[in-house]
Structure formats: structure tokens, C-alpha cells
């Protein structure tokens, strides 16, 4: 059911001292609550209202008419006063009622929105036994009811953006009751002439905070954190890039704290000031301090504030940092009870300054699919929806448009200004269109708030403001950093950012300055830097306008090519796990570098080298399709047709990947060309490795004669060259062929020799492959005890280096082990888990493994029956890789223990 918006008078009430009453006599209080609720519901119905919710001691109702709402509240309090007159003072049910007239959203009978929230806040601000109304109610009822309304000032309620004018309804209960019962005409007990005791009223807070025209969404934890900081520190600076919401957060915090400062909270807006000498004058003007003739204005300000308890907000200090810092220091020294809350894109750099980095609003995970309801739990989505609904009242998030809304909030980094500008576009554009055109966000979001300061009217203006405050060197580095995708390290920034007038040794200092100015973000846990997408797009636009673009992108390519080649040499040894993790955060940069090979000088050779260097990384991470696609793209570039070692290695990679993915005919063609080039250039090591892949491809295509020929040639070459890694691979391949042919006695010693060599050279990948093959031999020989230990070791390797293909193969072999142990349901479970991982990585079982597994799966399927087998298989398919591997480890340990 869709939500509908309407105007309603909202009635909200609770019982003052409810917890005390319950503690005093729980049963009596419950009975009194039930009776009070019945009485109130009857009055609500009598005045054409509707009870929306009644939980605990609270009651929420709505009325179409504000006049009827006030009449109802008056009658309820009158009747409750009569009932309370018969009770001891400590047992009286003193109800507080708040009334507000405002917009609400109704869905499934429930009410939502600020219209409801304000009524609830007025209720808590009301007197026990009294009625507290908002200014919007007063406008409807004044002059229509014989009542007096006593103003109690503007209230800044938590999570309500705008101040609310509040009024106590006087004589609505007490005078009317006294008129009726003073003489006891109705036989009731007279009501005392004295009014009910109410808590002392606090004076209305003093401030110059502007009324906000839109609601404040989210940031509950941020508000709490800043409040805590202001308790402990006298100078707090809110930091962040343009549009992140520093000013709005400062105003919300100030509004909620207004009553805590007897001399008020005062906003000094500095964005429009260009002259630093006018900062002190701006403060004096806001505070109404007059300059003394012949004396500096700072003296008058310091003298006036010496004994004041107030909070001063210095908003937008970044372009006047020195002046703001000097003024803040003088103010804090002059008055012990004065505090300063500043907003800036960089620190004031004062002793005692506490800083709070204003975060972006929580946005959806781009990898996850969420329903409309789940999305609206996130602050970024809530803000977007709130502003979109204001622009287009019929707008709502549905499961149909949820993906587009999620994409908008993610790509806009959860930046409030960007979200608000995007939401304004909902008036004229569907969200799907907005989501697909965010690459041109600076042109798309031009319809900003005309009343906002110039730097906040559009997204481009906000970025221009920050850019204008940078030095020429800072601008140069910022635009060059736009070539990075997904973040970068310091050494990467030095390699790419240096050039021209910018020396490598200067990069670290300039990078620090960009972090200080909130344009670059540094993640302390990883030491990596990144640009928010909005900042990155702006910097890319500036890069494309400059003469730096091609040079910066070529340096970026060179850096990641060298990194990948350095890693490649270590990805087959004992440091494999370390280097896999080192490359993980660089995936986006590497793919970006690969794309630039289309235009780079000598890009054909660079692309071939890059994809070959990434082979082991992408394979171990189960990214075979990315490896295949990237390698084929590199082979197809103009210039890549030259028959050299770079093309040979790329063809070899393409053939290997094709084999693993079941593209055997395609793989054979690529491998035959690779072998031909290897022989032409005299690279016997490459030739040996290609021969192994060719032999396995022939096995898959049923040509065992050719397979034997290729594999024996490979073994001879490896022995001739003394290459232990290649020899271990050759022994494993030849053993595979023997296992397919059913000669385990010939296969097992070859596997063992290969395992010994792999252990000797520290090649953990080949070690895991040999262990898996030996485990299958042990299962074939019906020796489950031997197999379990080898599978656990292979699993250790898979987890330590993060190799998903190895982990998937462990699950597949566990299928056979479970079947051998007649654990049929577990066998079905392992099969489903293995199939899910193979589907994810794109790897299929080779002929030898298929021959091993097929009869064991058939036994399990027959023993368990079709439906239970399918159920167990499907249950495992639903698990994540980590869950499946964890379950496999637990099962293997149990088997070893048993």
C-alpha cells in the first residue's frame, strides 16, 4: 500500500511520572492506564478523531480539525482533573498533551513525519495536566475558543530542523473546573483553587539560528559525538569537503544545545567575506557589540565576552584560516565560559582544537541488492527520498526503482549537497535516467537553491570554491591524482604525481595538504588515499583540460605494470599470500591501466606484459573471465601481432584459461601458436610449459596419444633445463594422464615426486594441486584416513593464500571422500558447494577429476534418493565461499578425530 500525505491535527499524550507510578503500585497503575485510555479514546471519537496508536502510557490520535483537537484535549484534562481530585496526590494520573497541525504521511493506518514528531515533542514540553500546542494550531483556533494561550518561546526539538513556537493552553481545565465545582453544585469534591504544580519553565533560548526550510535527516551519532566533544573541548572544528553537510550539522547541534548556554548560541557566517580584516567585525555585528571610538573592535569584543557563557559558530573558515584562528585564540583566552564551533575544509591548527571529520551519509553497498524497505534504513537514501518527495510528492522508493536509487546514493558518495541536487531532478527526470547520467553530474545538477550562498547552489560551484583555495602545485597534484581508481599508496602518488615543476620529494607534503583541505581522504588502517567520486570527476575534468593528461596516465600505467611484474615473480613462491593481498586493492587501478594501453605509446607490448603478469593473481582470485577477456583484448591491439615472447606468453595464458573454462578447441589453437613462437625465439622454458597445457587439452578432447607425446616432451625439456618448478608441473600432468587411464600405481609415485619438488622450492600452489591429486588416489584406493589429512593441508594453503579455485577443488574432492564414507547427505552437500564455487570462478573439473567423481556421486544419488539429494545440494549452493570452506574444515577435523 502506498503512503499518502495529508494535513492533520496530531494529538500526542503520555502520563507524567509513569515509571514512578509503576514502581509504586504496578497493578493499580495498569488498571488506571487502561481506564484513562478508554476515557481518552471516547473523547477522541466524540470529536471526530481517530486513535492511531495506544502503547504503554502513550496515546496518538489525529483530527481533521485543530479546533476539535483542542476541544477534545480540554475535555479530557477537565474529566481527568475531576477524577484526580478524589485521589491522593502521589496516585494522580497527570497526563501531558501536545497538539500540532502539520503534514503527515499515512501508510497502513500508521502516521509518520515531522507533523507527528513535533506533537510528541510538545507533549514532553507540556505541563502535567496541561495542553501544549504549536503555533500552527494557534493560528487555527485563536478567537474561536474562549481560551488564553501563553507563549513559551521557540523550542528546538531533537531531530526537528526548524524551531517550533509553543504555547500553553491556560484556563482550559482549571478555571472551567473551578467554575463548575467551586460551590459543589454537582455534589463532587471541590477542586483546589491552586493550580497543579508544574516544573519550572526554562527561559526561551537566545540565538540567531536561521529557520531551516527542510528537515534534518540522520546523523544521530554525529550529533551525539559533536555534543560530547563540546563538553570536553572549547574549540571544535567540523571538517569535510564542500557539500558534506558541515554547516547543517553545526546548526543542528547548536539548536539542540541552545538552552545550555545562558548567553545564547550565535552564528557568524563567513562565506561571503573576502577580507580577513572583517572577521572580527562580523562577530561584533552578530553579537551587537559596538566599537569604541579610537579603539580596535577586537577590544570591545573581548571585553563584552569576558564573562559570557555562549557558543559561537564560525561557519566556513577555510578561506580566512589565519584570521579565524587568531580570533578564536583571543576569544578563548578572554572568556573561560565561551566555546567555539567552527566549520572548515581544513584545521585552524590551534592548540586545544578538537576536530570532527564529518562523514558522508551511509550509502548502499554497490555489490548488494536491497529491497526498498532495507534501503530506507540508510541515511543517504533517507535524505534523497525526503528531498525527492518534496520535489515530486508522488515519488516513493519501490522494489522496481530501488536499484537506481541505490546507484545514485552510492555514486554520489553519500554527499548531502549532491543528493539534494539529484533529488531535485526527480521533478523532471525518472531516477533510472539520473542514475545512468551521473558521469555528467556537474551539468545534470544545475538547478540548485537560488537562495543558497553561491558556493552551495550547484555541485560545480561547491567544487570550484574548494579548487580556488588551492595553490598551483596543489591543483596540479589533485588533477593528476584523478587517474587513480579505487585509491592509491604514497609511492604510487609520488610516481604519478611528480613531473614538470613538481618534484617527487614535494608530493608527500602536497598530498598532506590536500588531505588537510578535505579533498583527499586517507584511510589510517591501510595507509591508502582516495578521492570521493564527485571530487575525482571534478579533478578528471581539470586533468582533461590540462597538458598533463596523457603523461599522468602513462606514468600510472608504468607504475602498475612494474608492480604487477614484481608481484608475478613472487606469486608462485612462499610470499604468494602477501603479494595476493598487496594486489587486491589495486584491481581497479590495474584495469584502468590496461584500458590506457589502447592509447599509450608502445601500448600493445605493455598490455601483453600486464596481462601475463596478472595471470597468477587473477587465477587465484577466481577471476578467470577477467583474465581471459583482458588477455584477448591485449592480443587484439594493433602491434600485438608481432611474433615475439610477449605474444607467446599471452597466447599461452589465453590457452590455459580456455582449458580451465572448457574452451578446448579455442585453447588448442592458441597453444599451438604459442608453441610455434616459443620454438622460433628459442625459449625452451616457455615451450615446456606450453607443452603441458597442450597435453592436457588433448586429454580433454580424447586424444591420449598426442597427450602422451606432448607430456613426455615437456618432462624431457624440464629435466634437461633443471627447472624444478616446471619439472614438478610435468610430473603432475603425466600422473593425471595415468590416473585417467586407471593406472594408479603409475600415477601415485609421479604425484609424490611432484609434491616433494613443490615443497622443496616453496611453491604452495603446486603443493596444493599435488595434495588434492594424491587425496583422490587415496580415495580411489579406499583409504579415507590418508585423504583427510591431505585435504586439510590443501585447505590450509587455499585459505592462507586466498585461492578460491583451490578451495573449490577441496570441496569437490570432499564430495568423493564423503561418498566413500557412505555419508550420502554430506556428499550431496559438498557437491552443491563445489558446483557453486566453480560457477563463480568459471573453472570446470578436468577429465581426470570428472572420472574420479562421477561414480561416487552416482552412488550417493542412488543411496539418498533424488529429492533429499537435491535438497542437500541446493542448501549448500546458498552459502558463501567462506561459509562453505568453514563447514568443510569442521567436517574434515571431525573425520580425522573419529
Paired residues of 521 in beta bridges: 530
Half-sphere exposure of 247 (CA within 13 A, CB side): 21
Q: Is the per-residue pLDDT at 192 higher than 50? A: no
Query: Between helices 624-636 and 603-613, what is the axis angle to 10°?
Result: 160
Maximum CA extent, the chain: 122
Question: C-alpha distances in angstroms, 492 versus 605, 770, 828, 857?
Answer: 22, 38, 48, 50
Q: Which three cell numbers stand for residue 626?
A: 577477467
| Burial per residue of 682-719, b for 16 or more beta-carbon CB atoms within 10 angstroms, e otherwise | ebeebbbbbbbbbbbbbbbeeeeebbbebbebbbebbe
Q: Which band of pLDDT confidence, cut at 50, 70 and 90, is reported for residue 448?
A: very low
Phi, psi of 207 (to 5 degrees): -170, 170
Q: Taking the mean position of all CA atoms in its chain, how far away is CA 469? A: 29
* pLDDT over threshold 70, residue 180: no
Instruction: Say what the pLDDT of residue 516 is.
Output: 83
Mean pLDDT of 73-91: 85
209: nearest Cα among 242, 247, 240 = 247
pLDDT of residue 421: 79
Contacts of 351 by beta carbon, 8 Å cutoff, 6+ apart:
none
In this predicted structure, the answer to whether residue 669 has a pLDDT above a threshold of 90 is yes
Beta strand 148-155 with 311-315 is unpaired
Residue 849 CB neighbours (<10 A): 20
pLDDT average, residue stretch 450-473: 66
Question: Average pLDDT in the 875-894 region?
Answer: 90
What integer pLDDT is reported at residue 678 of this predicted model?
94
* 771/789 Cα distance (integer angstroms): 9
pLDDT of res. 379: 82
**What are the φ/ψ torsions at residue 59 (nearest 5 degrees)?**
-140, 135
Q: Pairing mode, if any, of strands 110-112 and 95-107?
A: antiparallel
**Mean pLDDT taken over the chain:** 84
Terminus-to-terminus CA distance in the chain, angstroms?
56
> Is pLDDT above 70 for 647?
yes
**Is 453 a residue whose pLDDT tops 70?**
no
Task: Kindly tell me the burial class for residue 189, based on how many C-beta atoms sit within 10 Å of its own C-beta (0-12, 13-18, 19 or more).
Answer: exposed
CA distances from 198 to 94, 126, 411 (A): 11, 9, 52
Which cell numbers hold the place of 476? Answer: 596540479
DSSP label at residue 367:
T
Q: What pLDDT does residue 112 have?
A: 80
* pLDDT tens per residue across span 30-71: 888 988 999 999 999 999 899 998 887 889 999 989 999 999
User: What is the DSSP-derived secondary structure letter of residue 201?
Assistant: P
Do residues 761 and 725 make contact, with C-beta atoms less than 8 angstroms apart? yes
Check pLDDT > 90 for residue 839: no
Please identify which residue in the block is written with the cell numbers 550565535.
Answer: 266
The two beta strands, 339-344 and 235-239, are parallel
Q: What share of the chain is helix, strand, coil (3-state, %, to 5)?
A: 60, 10, 30
464: cell is 570550484
* Better-scored residue on pLDDT, 417 or 630: 630
Number of Cβ atoms within 10 Å of the Cβ of 466: 21
Angle at the Cα of 650 from the Cα atoms of 645 and 653, rounded to 5 degrees: 125
* 789 backbone dihedrals φ, ψ, rounded to 5°: -65, -40
- Average of per-residue pLDDT across 286-309: 83
Question: Taking a C-beta distance cutoff of 8 angstroms, is the pair 611, 594 a contact?
Answer: yes
Of all residues in the chain, the percent with pLDDT exceeding 90 is 30
Percent of the chain with pLDDT over 70: 91
pLDDT of residue 162 exceeding 80, the answer is: no
Q: Show the cell assigned to 428.
A: 523532471
Residue 716 · residue 735 · CB < 8 Å = no
| 455 pLDDT higher than 50 | no
Predicted confidence at residue 427, as pLDDT, reads 77
Q: Which helix (H) or strand (E) holds 340?
A: strand 339-344
Query: Which helix H or strand E contains 227, and what residues bound it?
Result: helix 220-232
pLDDT at 376: 77
Dig out the grid coordinates for 66 from the structure.
485543530
Decide: helix, strand or coil at residue 134. Answer: strand
Q: Which of 226-235, 572-581, 836-845 has the highest mean pLDDT?
A: 226-235
Mean pLDDT of the region 804-822: 91
* CA distances, 743 to each of 740, 748, 858 (Å): 8, 9, 22
Residues 6+ apart with CB under 8 A from 533: 411, 412, 413
Confidence of residue 833 (pLDDT cuts 50, 70, 90): very high
Segment holding 386, helix H or strand E: helix 379-391
Where does residue 503 rank: exposed (0-12), middle (13-18), buried (19+ CB within 10 A)?
A: exposed
591's grid cell: 584495469
- For residues 203-229, give the mean pLDDT: 77
Confidence of residue 244 (pLDDT cuts 50, 70, 90): confident
What is the rounded distance in angstroms from the CA atom of residue 680 to the CA atom of residue 641? Answer: 15
Q: Is the dihedral of CA 612, 793, 763, 743 positive or negative?
A: negative
Task: Label residue 221 by pLDDT band (50, 70, 90).
Answer: confident
pLDDT average, residue stretch 742-771: 89
CA–CA distance, 534 with 540 (Å, rounded to integer): 10
Strand partners, 148: 170
Task: Return the closest-CA partner of residue 249 out of 220, 279, 211.
Answer: 220
Over residues 369-382, the pLDDT tens digits come to 667 777 777 888 88
Residue with cell 573425520: 895
User: Other CB atoms closer than 10 Å to residue 579's CB: what's the count?
Assistant: 22
pLDDT score of 181: 34
**Which residue's entry shows cell 590450509?**
796
Q: What are phi and psi of 35, to 5 degrees?
A: -65, -40
- Which sign does the torsion angle of CA 556, 557, 558, 561 carry? positive
Amino acid 10: pLDDT: 95
Specify the higher pLDDT residue, 456 or 85: 85
At 161, the pLDDT band (50, 70, 90 cuts) reads: low
Whether 456 shows a pLDDT value over 70: the answer reads no
Q: Does residue 180 contact residue 186 with C-beta atoms inside 8 Å?
A: yes
pTM: 0.61
Is the per-residue pLDDT at 3 higher than 80?
no
In this predicted structure, the answer to whether residue 606 has a pLDDT above a threshold of 90 is yes
Coil, strand, or helix at residue 377? Answer: coil
Q: 511 with 497: CB under 8 angstroms?
A: yes
* Distance from C-alpha of 678 to C-alpha of 656, rounded to nearest angstrom: 15
Mean pLDDT value across residues 252-281: 84
Question: Is the pLDDT score of 366 beyond 80?
Answer: no
Mean pLDDT over 327-336 rounds to 84
How much is the pLDDT for 441?
Answer: 63
Which is nearest to 193 in space by CA: 204, 184, 203, 182? 182
Q: What is the pLDDT of residues 300-313, one digit of tens each?
A: 888 888 888 889 99
Say which DSSP state 643 is in: -
Which candidate, 345, 395, 402, places its Cα nearest to that of 373?
Answer: 402
Reply yes or no on whether the pLDDT at 522 is more than 60: yes
Rounded Cα distance between 317 and 304, Å, is 23
Confidence category of residue 9, pLDDT binned at 50, 70, 90 = very high
Q: What is the rounded radius of gyration, in angstroms, for the C-alpha atoms of the chain?
A: 37
CA dihedral for 575, 580, 586, 590, sign (positive or negative): positive
d(CA 556, CA 493): 9
Amino acid at each position: 500500500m502506498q503512503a499518502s500525505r495529508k494535513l492533520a491535527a496530531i494529538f500526542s499524550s503520555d502520563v507524567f511520572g509513569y515509571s514512578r507510578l509503576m514502581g509504586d503500585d504496578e497493578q493499580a497503575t495498569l488498571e488506571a492506564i487502561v481506564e484513562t485510555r478508554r476515557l481518552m479514546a471516547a473523547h477522541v471519537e466524540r470529536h471526530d478523531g481517530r486513535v492511531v496508536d495506544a502503547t504503554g502510557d502513550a496515546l496518538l490520535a489525529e483530527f481533521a480539525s485543530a479546533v476539535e483537537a483542542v476541544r477534545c484535549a480540554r475535555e479530557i484534562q477537565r474529566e481527568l482533573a475531576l477524577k484526580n481530585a478524589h485521589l491522593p496526590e502521589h496516585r494522580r494520573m497527570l497526563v501531558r498533551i501536545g497538539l500540532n497541525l502539520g503534514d503527515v504521511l499515512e501508510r497502513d493506518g500508521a502516521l509518520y513525519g515531522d507533523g507527528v514528531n513535533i506533537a510528541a515533542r510538545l507533549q514532553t514540553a507540556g505541563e502535567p495536566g496541561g495542553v501544549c500546542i504549536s503555533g500552527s494550531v494557534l493560528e487555527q483556533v485563536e478567537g474561536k475558543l474562549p481560551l488564553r494561550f501563553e507563549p513559551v518561546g521557540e523550542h528546538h526539538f531533537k531531530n526537528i530542523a526548524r524551531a517550533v513556537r509553543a504555547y500553553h493552553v491556560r484556563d482550559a481545565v482549571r478555571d472551567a473546573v473551578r467554575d463548575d465545582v467551586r460551590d459543589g453544585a454537582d455534589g463532587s469534591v471541590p477542586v483546589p483553587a491552586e493550580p497543579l504544580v508544574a516544573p519550572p519553565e526554562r527561559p526561551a533560548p537566545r540565538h540567531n539560528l536561521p529557520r531551516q526550510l527542510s528537515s534534518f535527516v540522520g546523523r544521530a551519532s554525529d550529533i551525539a559525538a559533536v555534543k560530547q566533544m563540546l563538553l570536553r573541548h572549547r574549540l571544535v572544528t567540523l571538517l569535510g569537503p564542500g557539500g558534506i553537510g558541515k554547516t547543517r550539522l553545526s546548526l543542528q547541534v547548536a539548536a539542540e544545545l541552545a538552552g545550555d548556554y545562558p548567553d545564547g548560541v550565535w552564528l557568524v557566517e563567513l562565506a561571503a567575506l573576502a577580507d580577513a580584516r572583517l572577521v572580527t567585525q562580523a562577530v561584533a555585528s552578530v553579537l551587537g557589540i559596538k566599537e569604541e571610538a579610537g579603539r580596535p573592535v577586537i577590544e570591545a569584543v573581548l571585553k563584552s565576552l569576558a564573562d559570557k557563557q555562549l557558543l559561537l559558530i564560525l561557519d566556513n573558515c577555510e578561506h580566512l584560516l589565519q584570521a579565524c584562528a587568531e580570533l578564536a585564540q583571543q576569544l578563548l583566552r578572554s572568556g573561560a565560559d565561551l566555546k567555539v564551533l567552527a566549520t572548515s575544509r581544513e584545521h585552524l591548527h590551534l592548540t586545544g582544537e578538537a576536530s570532527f571529520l564529518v562523514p558522508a551519509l551511509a550509502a548502499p553497498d554497490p555489490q548488494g541488492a536491497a529491497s526498498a524497505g532495507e534501503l530506507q534504513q540508510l541515511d543517504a537514501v533517507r535524505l534523497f527520498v525526503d528531498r525527492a518527495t518534496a520535489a515530486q510528492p508522488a515519488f516513493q522508493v519501490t522494489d522496481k526503482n530501488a536499484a537506481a536509487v541505490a546507484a545514485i546514493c552510492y555514486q554520489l558518495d553519500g554527499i548531502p549537497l549532491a543528493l539534494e541536487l539529484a533529488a531535485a531532478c526527480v521533478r523532471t527526470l525518472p531516477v533510472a535516467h539520473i542514475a545512468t547520467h551521473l558521469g555528467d553530474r556537474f551539468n545534470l545538477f544545475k538547478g540548485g537553491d537560488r537562495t543558497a550562498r553561491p558556493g552551495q547552489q550547484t555541485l560545480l560551484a561547491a567544487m570550484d570554491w574548494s579548487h580556488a583555495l588551492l595553490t598551483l602545485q596543489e591543483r596540479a597534484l589533485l588533477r593528476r591524482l584523478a587517474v587513480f581508481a579505487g585509491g592509491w599508496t604514497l609511492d604510487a602518488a609520488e610516481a604519478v604525481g611528480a613531473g614538470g615543476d613538481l618534484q617527487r620529494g614535494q608530493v608527500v607534503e602536497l598530498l598532506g595538504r590536500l588531505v588537510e583541505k578535505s579533498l583527499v581522504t586517507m584511510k589510517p588502517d591501510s595507509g591508502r588515499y582516495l578521492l570521493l567520486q564527485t571530487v575525482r570527476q571534478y579533478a578528471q575534468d581539470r586533468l582533461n583540460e590540462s597538458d598533463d593528461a596523457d603523461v599522468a596516465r602513462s606514468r600510472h600505467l608504468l607504475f602498475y605494470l612494474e608492480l604487477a611484474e614484481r608481484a608475478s615473480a613472487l606469486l608462485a613462491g612462499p610470499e604468494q599470500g602477501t603479494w595476493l593481498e598487496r594486489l587486491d586493492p589495486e584491481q581497479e587501478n590495474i584495469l584502468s591501466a590496461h584500458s590506457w594501453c589502447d592509447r599509450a605509446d608502445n601500448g600493445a607490448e605493455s598490455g601483453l606484459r600486464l596481462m601475463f603478469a596478472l595471470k597468477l593473481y587473477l587465477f587465484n582470485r577466481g577471476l578467470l573471465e577477467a583474465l581471459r577477456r583482458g588477455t584477448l583484448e591485449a592480443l587484439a591491439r594493433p602491434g600485438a601481432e608481432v611474433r615475439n615472447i610477449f605474444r607467446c606468453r599471452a597466447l599461452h595464458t589465453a590457452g590455459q584459461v580456455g582449458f580451465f573454462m572448457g574452451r578446448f578447441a579455442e585453447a588448442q589453437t592458441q597453444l599451438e601458436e604459442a608453441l610455434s613462437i616459443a620454438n622460433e625465439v628459442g625459449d625452451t622454458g616457455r615451450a615446456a610449459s606450453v607443452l603441458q597445457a597442450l597435453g592436457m587439452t588433448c586429454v580433454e578432447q580424447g586424444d591420449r596419444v598426442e597427450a602422451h607425446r606432448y607430456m613426455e616432451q615437456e618432462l624431457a625439456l624440464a629435466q634437461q633445463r633443471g627447472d624444478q618448478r616446471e619439472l614438478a608441473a610435468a610430473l603432475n600432468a603425466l600422473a593425471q594422464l595415468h590416473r585417467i587411464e586407471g593406472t594408479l600405481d603409475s600415477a601415485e609415485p609421479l604425484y609424490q615426486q611432484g609434491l616433494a619438488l613443490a615443497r622443496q622450492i616453496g611453491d604452495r600452489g603446486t603443493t596444493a594441486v599435488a595434495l588434492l591429486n594424491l587425496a583422490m588416489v587415496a580415495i580411489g584406493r579406499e583409504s579415507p584416513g590418508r585423504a583427510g589429512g591431505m585435504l586439510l593441508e590443501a585447505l590450509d594453503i587455499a585459505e592462507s593464500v586466498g585461492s578460491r579455485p583451490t578451495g573449490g577443488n577441496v570441496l569437490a574432492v570432499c564430495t568423493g571422500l564423503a561418498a566413500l564414507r557412505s555419508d550420502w547427505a554430506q556428499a550431496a552437500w559438498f557437491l552443491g558447494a563445489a558446483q557453486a564455487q566453480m560457477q563463480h570462478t568459471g573453472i570446470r573439473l578436468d577429465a581426470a577429476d570428472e572420472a574420479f567423481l562421477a561414480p561416487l556421486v552416482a552412488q550417493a544419488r542412488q543411496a539418498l534418493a533424488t529429492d533429499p539429494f537435491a535438497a542437500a545440494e541446493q542448501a549448500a549452493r546458498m552459502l558463501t565461499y567462506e561459509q562453505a570452506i568453514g563447514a568443510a574444515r569442521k567436517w574434515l577435523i571431525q573425520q580425522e578425530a573419529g
